[in-house]
Amino acid sequence: MITGEYITAFIKKQKTVFIGSVDEDGFPNIKAMFTPRKIEGNCFYFSTNTSSLRTKQFMENPRASVYVYKRGRFKYEGIMLTGTMEVLQEAGIKREIWCTGDTMYYKQGVDDPDYCVLKFTAVKGRYYCDLKSESFNMEDLE
């Protein structure tokens, strides 16, 4: 059985995750992102542009998903999480997850108005490995 600790460790080892949003017509949209800057329980924090399409979609419809996988030579492992995404503009969380190299994306630094934080709160998920999969609720994980 999968655990919360395993999910956190697995995600931290990857370089890319995929986030899903819902567009104005109700269709899913998928985007590759860097791994979360912070993971706290079932909450995952990402940095992004305030002006991005995904940010707009999450402000209109907070339903979201996150998918991360590892493709090895003989083994494929993937975790899908579903939940909600909040767009955070508070200075405290922006400073907390800020990295020095972020000025490449946000020229005005941590206070750039085009810099915000996406907070994904996972509710449930599905784990796949070795031709087997299992569904889980985040609240049931150890």
The CATH number assigned to the domain holding 88 equals: 2.30.110.10
Is pTM, for the whole model, over 0.85? yes
- Give domain status of residue 142, yes or no: no
Whether residue 114 contacts residue 51, with contact meaning beta carbons closer than 8 Å, is answered with yes
Residue with tokens 């999450």: 58
Domain count, the chain: 1
pLDDT of residue 100: 87
The stretch 64-82 carries a mean pLDDT of 94
pLDDT of residue 138: 95
- Give domain status of residue 43, yes or no: yes
pLDDT of residue 142: 67
Is a pLDDT exceeding 70 seen at residue 92? yes
What domain range is 40 assigned to?
Answer: 4-135
The stretch 98-103 carries a mean pLDDT of 92
Band (pLDDT 50/70/90 cuts) for residue 133 is very high
Is a pLDDT exceeding 70 seen at residue 46? yes
Check residue 13 and give left, alpha or beta (phi > 0: left; psi -120 to 50: alpha): alpha
- Give domain status of residue 75, yes or no: yes
Measured distance CA(59)–CA(68) in Å, rounded: 23
- Give domain status of residue 15, yes or no: yes
- Give domain status of residue 141, yes or no: no
- Give domain status of residue 140, yes or no: no
CA quadruple 69, 54, 118, 63: dihedral, nearest 10: -80
